[in-house]
Structure 1
Amino acid sequence: MYRFLLSRQWVLLTLVALLLIPAMVWLGFWQLNRHEQRVARNDLISTSLDAPPVPMAELTGVGGAVDPDDRYRPVTATGVYDTDHEVVVRQRTDGDGVVGYHVLTPLVQADGTGVVVNRGWIPAGDDITRMPEVPGPPSGEVTVTGRLMADESTGTTGIRERSGLPDGMVMMISSAERAEAAGVPMLGGHLELSETSPALAEAEAAGQPEMLSEPDHTGIGAHFAYAVQWWLFAAGVPVGWVLLLRREVGDRRLPAGSPPAGGGDSGSVPRAASGAVRAGLR
């Protein structure tokens, strides 16, 4: 009765089912892992943003790296902006998805060390091969407050370095590169500006780069729902296989000349099987 399971059609159908089940289970755990990563990231951002500001030098040193647990911490730095070594970072978007630049300006402190300050976003000009017009920072000594961020790399951003960029343009934020370019030892990481003291006059503030908003730390996405969905799909594969088997057995038990269950040709297993698999994957 069940010798038909050794036919080419049923062997292929069974192999496909056996491959789909572990693949879907793996995809479910992958989505669950992404959910857990998102929750951990949100907790880190929330905890860090609620911490009181501290001098940036307390959390990172010259040539050092930012501890992952210190990301997004409010930090301060006091010094004078070095506009001669200001650069813009290409291919950065604002909250509406408009492409522009981030403005990086070194802040030189009294002890001679520097801090890379991301002053915010400006829109791209008509000619992306030329340096855009960048509003100047406040002159004199200022105290800046912002979020501590790690240096960027191709591994963390997925952005590739490019040669032949116009003068004053870079692809990523790297304190080591800014230190070499300015000839000033820089603290590792960079400060994402949120406040300047003394406060700028209203007319002066209107022309400054658009400060970056706090990262979203409320939404967790639909990763958990996707994980459950993949596991339901995995459970549906053997159920579908059993239903097809029962239908085939029932058709074979019918008297000769009788129409198969549900109509159609009892030999069209691949068509029925593929339809069941497609239904289970929706």
Structure 2
Amino acid sequence: MTKPPLVETPEGWVPSGLKVRGKAGSKVTPPSTPTIAPLDARPPTRPAASPNRTPPEPPSEPTGTKASDGSGVRFRPMPVLTILSILCLGILYVLGDWQWAKFVEKSRAPAVAAATAPVSVSAGLQSPQPEYRPVELTGLIDPRSVRVRALRDGINGYRIFTPVVMEDGWIFVDRGFVPETEVDKVPVLSGQVSLRGVLRKGAKANSFTPDNDPIRQDWYWPDLPAMGASLKLTGGSPAYYVALNLVDPLATGQMQINPWADSKGANQIPPERHLGYALTWWGFGFALIGVYTGLHLRTGRLRFGRAPT
């Protein structure tokens, strides 16, 4: 069977003699062939969420632990610097505590009234509190003397201890302080003397004072028994000595007050100065802590706050 020829019409190519219904001017396009996308180009399909399905819960933390939010203090000390700082802090604390003890001791020292009449040395030694007791002695002075190292107003020198022989024994007399450059100018005394002063106890100053060397006659603190033995003195009162109220060790004719005979403590350093020394040593300790902390902050070994993510 022969197919009828196709004729072109406004509606398109149609078989000859076929009438096409429709609006004039409309154009019928042949159906297009659907294209199928490759399998690998298709978007992944996601299963439809069930209305009754709940989202999964996050994993729970182990019992007894707490989540870290990165906050807190992070400290990595420098080993050598830390050891040296601890040693220095210990030394500074000991020095400050020693000065504080001296301050408390001198602040509590019994004050001797100026109107108290002096007594004899033997009566003063028999009193309940011989320390700082005003006494008066008369006797024969020994021309030999012992030099004890001392420091006064920042000047190195010596205190001159000379024995005085009385009727009932002997006792050392502190004649005053002499600078080291003038110690050879101290005159040698002899004959009968009558002196006034206060009784002082010859005790070691502190644990930092060097030991005495009796053989070389090098004395750092008034060890009265050893000083008397070095001069071959027997008997007497080796526990106390007399600190003269007014001294003139160089015989210049200008008497001056002996700070070791001061009734407030009989020492060349007042209590207030010991308090200042204690605060200074402790202040150095706090400064060392500040430098130690600042150095660790600067090098990143000490950090505060939230750690970077």
Q: TM-score, normalised by structure 2?
A: 0.51
Unaligned segments of structure 1, at least 5 residues:
1-13, 61-69, 251-282
2:224 corresponds to which letter in structure 1?
A: S
> Of the two, which has the highest radius of gyration?
2
Residue 44 of structure 1 pairs with residue 100 of structure 2: no
Q: Distance in 1 between matches of 2:177 and 2:192?
A: 19
Which of 174, 181, 195 in structure 2 is aligned with 1:118? 174
Which of 250, 253, 263 in structure 2 is aligned with 1:206? 253
C-alpha contact 2:209 2:220 (8 A) present in aligned 1: no
* Cross-structure match for 1:105: 162
Give the SS at the match of 1:144: strand
C-alpha contact 2:162 2:174 (8 A) present in aligned 1: yes
Q: Distance in 1 between matches of 2:181 and 2:102?
A: 34
Cα distance change on mapping 1:38 and 1:138 into 2, 3 Å: farther
Which of 205, 209, 220 in structure 2 is aligned with 1:157? 209
* Offset, 1:244: 9.7
C-alpha contact 2:89 2:285 (8 A) present in aligned 1: yes
C-alpha contact 1:89 1:172 (8 A) present in aligned 2: no
1:179 corresponds to which letter in structure 2?
A: G
2:241 corresponds to which letter in structure 1?
A: H
Which of 270, 286, 293 in structure 2 is aligned with 1:216? 270
* Offset, 1:226: 0.7
Q: Distance in 2 between matches of 1:138 and 1:105?
A: 13
Q: Distance in 1 between matches of 2:89 and 2:224?
A: 39
Q: Distance in 2 between matches of 1:85 and 1:156?
A: 32
Mapping 1:77-226, distance limit 5 Å = 77-84=135-142, 86-89=144-147, 91-95=149-153, 97=155, 99-110=156-167, 112-123=168-179, 132-134=185-187, 136=189, 139-145=192-198, 148-152=200-204, 157-158=209-210, 160-161=212-213, 163=215, 173-180=222-229, 181-195=232-246, 206=253, 211-212=258-259, 214-219=268-273, 220-221=276-277, 222-226=280-284
- Percent identity over the alignment is 9
* Offset, 1:141: 4.1
Cα distance change on mapping 1:125 and 1:138 into 2, 3 Å: farther
1:45 corresponds to which letter in structure 2?
A: K
Q: Distance in 2 between matches of 1:124 and 1:137?
A: 23
Unaligned segments of structure 2, at least 5 residues:
1-74, 261-267
C-alpha contact 2:196 2:244 (8 A) present in aligned 1: no
* Cross-structure match for 1:274: none
* Cross-structure match for 2:84: 23
Give the SS at the match of 1:48: coil
C-alpha contact 1:101 1:122 (8 A) present in aligned 2: yes
Greater strand percent: which structure? 2
C-alpha contact 1:103 1:209 (8 A) present in aligned 2: no
C-alpha contact 1:160 1:171 (8 A) present in aligned 2: yes
Q: Distance in 1 between matches of 2:91 and 2:213?
A: 30
Give the SS at the match of 1:104: strand
Q: Distance in 2 between matches of 1:40 and 1:211?
A: 23
Cα distance change on mapping 1:223 and 1:244 into 2, 3 Å: closer
* Offset, 1:205: 8.1
Q: Distance in 1 between matches of 2:185 and 2:219?
A: 13
Give the SS at the match of 2:175: strand
2:271 corresponds to which letter in structure 1?
A: H
Q: How many equivalent pairs are there?
A: 210
RMSD: 4.4
Q: Distance in 2 between matches of 1:176 and 1:88?
A: 12
* Offset, 1:124: 5.3
1:46 corresponds to which letter in structure 2?
A: S
Give the SS at the match of 2:271: coil
C-alpha contact 1:193 1:211 (8 A) present in aligned 2: yes
